[in-house]
Amino acid sequence: MKSNEATPHLHLEYKEPEWPERLRRLGTVLSTQEEARKLAECDAPEGTTVMAEEQTGGRGRMGRKWHSPAGKGIWMSIVLRPELPLAATPQLTLLAGVAVCTAIRRETGVEAGIKWPNDLLAGGRKICGILVESALREGGLHYAIAGIGISANLAVDDYPEELRSVATSLLIESGKQVDRTRLAEAVLAELEAWYRLYLREGFAPVREAWQSLSVTLGRRILCGTPENRGEGLAVGLDENGALLLQNEDGEIVSVLSGEIKII
């Protein structure tokens, strides 16, 4: 299914975005996360972005390998320097999901949706992953690196056999090649606008947009957390970004982290 509609932009301001101008193109790297981290440690300004043609050691959450072949996707990482309490940093993952999902819908017509907490799906298969990693200094947040991997122009044969049932690409879903530079710049402009809104108004507008783009809400979920496993109906996000599940007893429980499976 495709759509040319993007989520309502609320109070977003797109005047003269700066982050697309801070995009640096690289060839083959181990990981864009590591390249962005090096720049952040050298005081690179917020919005500095590295985008690689290929990653040989790209990774997702929990150290999983991220399939990122040469010339096929958008593999990029962005330096962020928000003044936030450390406990609020998971909200940056949800914010990035809104920005990327909105940009993909607008630029490609592919009806992507957000699976909590960090994946975008199209047709029930993964099309993008987001990884936000934080660095601390003197007990507070020094900077964060937002890694975004979008499977843009991968054909079915570009995926290993074990990924073909769970992964897809913008090319597969739309039937059209994606201009990767244009989409990367659109994602950065969208991310910058949502980030500025978040710093001005807090998490509430991000939460509203996330819920409108979610493919998790209204579905039964199997959830594995560090503490326990459970099952319930996903009914929303709380004011901090935790996933709210309604269990068999009608009780609402908050899931702050962990793996979920839509059933």
Per-residue pLDDT of the chain (263 residues; tens, 9 = 90+): 344 444 544 557 667 899 999 999 999 999 999 999 999 999 999 999 999 999 998 776 555 676 888 999 999 999 999 999 988 999 999 999 999 999 999 999 999 999 999 999 999 999 999 999 999 988 789 999 999 999 999 999 999 999 999 999 999 999 999 999 999 999 999 999 999 999 999 999 999 999 999 999 999 999 876 555 778 999 999 999 999 999 989 999 888 887 888 98
Q: Provide the whole-model pTM.
A: 0.92
The predicted pLDDT at position 2 comes to 40
Q: What DSSP designation does 105 have? A: H
> What CATH code would you report for 220-262?
2.30.30.100
Per-domain residue ranges of the chain: 19-213, 220-262
What's residue 228's pLDDT?
57
The tokens describing 79, both together, are 């330096």
DSSP string across 101-160: HHHHHHHH-B--EEETTTEEEETTEEEEEEEEEEEEETTEEEEEEEEEEE--S--GGGS-
In angstroms, how far is the first alpha carbon of the chain from the final one? 20
Looking at residue 59, the DSSP 8-state letter turns out to be B
According to the model, what pLDDT value does residue 64 have?
Answer: 65
Question: What dotted CATH number matches 19-213?
Answer: 3.30.930.10
